[in-house]
């Protein structure tokens, strides 16, 4: 069975309410375990693939909570991930209308990644791909993996940490060129390439080298472009009652990766070659699974990772998604 390695942050989200004077009391906040790559790892694991996470946290109480959440989702933490001086905290400060601004206390690096010969697929994402010193190690790991298997990438642009598009776009495009599957949100595109149509960015990214580029658009679904298809495909979202959108993009990515792997398009150099030649009809079931997992996630509170049984139940209800 294909072995997955996910590289990226696992952190603590501290949610606080802003006072009238603009300050906040961190001691009255709520802490939850988060991190986009952790969410992807949990989603892939729940869909049946052995998954490991290379991340960076300390040996403290917050890190222990992260490890407990990972263990509950059957995600193995790669040894050496606990050598940070402190566990990263992202503070979400909510104003009176519920709008959030963020402050980050980040310590970022990654441990040495295991022999790539044993890794079928590697997923990378978020600020860990551009924030040094860890970003250099991520790039090195991806260059090795691109020879031995397949790679997926979600830039998950965070203006709070990446500062400006000019500072990160060169590295992001270098990683896109090394990847087989790239997923971004329309918000990522808007920040990275202001005033540039999403469709143009998708076509520009495909020219860099990936076989599949997807841009999610919230309630408007997603654009999909394959290297071997001239046109784009629009995939509609699942019609569900919305609880919140936390982890929706991560769940979409997890469902997509598991689906493509099952179809034989990820996990080896041979799979890489097959994906390069794929048509929309070949990958439609994987796209449907991505839509289903994302829909199931937004119908729950928080970054919920659906099971194969839940995915199957949706398909039973609507066989067109098979």
State the DSSP string of 136-167: HHHHHHHHHHHHHSEEEEE----HHHH--HHH
Rounded to two decimals, the pTM is 0.94
Q: Residue 239: pLDDT band by 50, 70, 90 thresholds?
A: confident
DSSP 104: E
The superfamily in CATH containing domain 4-321 is Ribokinase (3.40.1190.20)
The region of weakest confidence among 151-160, 208-217, 285-294 is: 151-160
Q: What is residue 242's predicted lDDT score, i.e. its pLDDT?
A: 81
pLDDT for residue 101 is more than 90:
no
| More confidently predicted of 116 and 70 | 70
Q: What share of the chain is helix, strand, coil (3-state, %, to 5)?
A: 45, 20, 35
Under the banding of pLDDT at 50, 70 and 90, the label for residue 244 is confident
Per-domain boundaries in the chain: 4-321
At 23, is the pLDDT very low, low, confident or very high (cuts 50, 70, 90)? confident
pLDDT of residue 139: 97
pLDDT in tens, 267-311: 999 999 999 999 999 999 999 999 999 999 989 887 899 999 999
- In the predicted structure, residue 168 carries a pLDDT above the cut 80: yes
pLDDT score for 52:
97
Phi-psi bin for 179: left (phi > 0), alpha (psi -120 to 50), beta? beta
Return the pLDDT at 129: 97
Per-residue pLDDT reduced to its tens digit, 46-66: 999 999 999 999 999 999 999
* pLDDT category of residue 108 using cuts at 50, 70 and 90: very high
Q: Residue 195, CB half-sphere, CA atoms under 13 Å: how many?
A: 0
C-alpha angle 280-142-264 in degrees, rounded to nearest 5? 35
Mean pLDDT (the chain) is: 94
- pLDDT per position as a tens digit, 136-149: 999 999 999 999 99
Instruction: Compute the distance between CA of residue 26 and CA of residue 34 in angstroms, rounded to an integer.
Output: 17
Provide the pLDDT for residue 63.
98
Percentage of the chain lying above the pLDDT 90 cut: 76
- Which H helix or E strand runs over 94? strand 89-94
Residue recorded with tokens 């040094």: 132
Which pLDDT does position 94 carry in this prediction? 82
pLDDT at 163: 82
């Amino acid at each position: 069975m294909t072995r997955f390695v996910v590289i990226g942050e696992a952190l603590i989200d501290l949610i606080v309410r802003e006072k009238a004077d603009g300050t906040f009391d961190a001691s009255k906040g709520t802490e939850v375990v988060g991190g986009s790559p952790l969410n992807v790892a949990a989603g892939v694991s729940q869909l049946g693939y052995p998954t490991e996470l290379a991340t960076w946290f300390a040996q403290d109480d917050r890190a222990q909570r992260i490890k407990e959440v990972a263990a509950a989702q059957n995600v193995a933490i790669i040894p050496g991930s606990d050598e940070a001086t402190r566990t990263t905290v992202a503070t979400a400060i909510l104003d009176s209308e519920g709008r959030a601004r963020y402050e980050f206390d980040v310590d970022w690096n990654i441990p040495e990644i295991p022999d790539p010969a044993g890794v079928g697929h590697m997923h990378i994402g978020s600020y860990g791909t551009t924030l040094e010193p860890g970003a250099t190690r991520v790039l090195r790991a991806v260059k090795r993996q691109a020879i031995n298997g397949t790679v997926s990438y979600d830039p998950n642009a965070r203006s709070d940490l990446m500062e400006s598009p000019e500072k990160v776009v060169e590295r992001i495009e270098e990683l896109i060129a090394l990847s087989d599957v790239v997923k971004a949100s329309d918000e990522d595109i808007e920040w990275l390439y202001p005033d540039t149509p999403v469709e143009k960015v998708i076509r520009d990214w495909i020219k860099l080298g990936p076989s599949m580029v997807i841009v999610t658009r919230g309630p408007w679904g997603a654009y999909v472009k394959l290297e071997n298809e001239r046109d784009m495909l629009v995939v509609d979202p699942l019609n569900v009652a919305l609880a919140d959108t936390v982890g929706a993009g991560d769940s979409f990515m997890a469902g997509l990766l598991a689906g493509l792997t099952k179809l034989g398009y990820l996990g080896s150099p041979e799979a890489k070659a097959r994906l390069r030649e794929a048509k929309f009809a070949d990958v439609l079931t994987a796209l449907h699974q991505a839509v289903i997992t994302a829909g199931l996630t937004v119908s729950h509170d928080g970054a919920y990772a659906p099971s194969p049984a839940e995915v199957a139940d949706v398909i039973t209800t609507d066989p067109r998604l098979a």
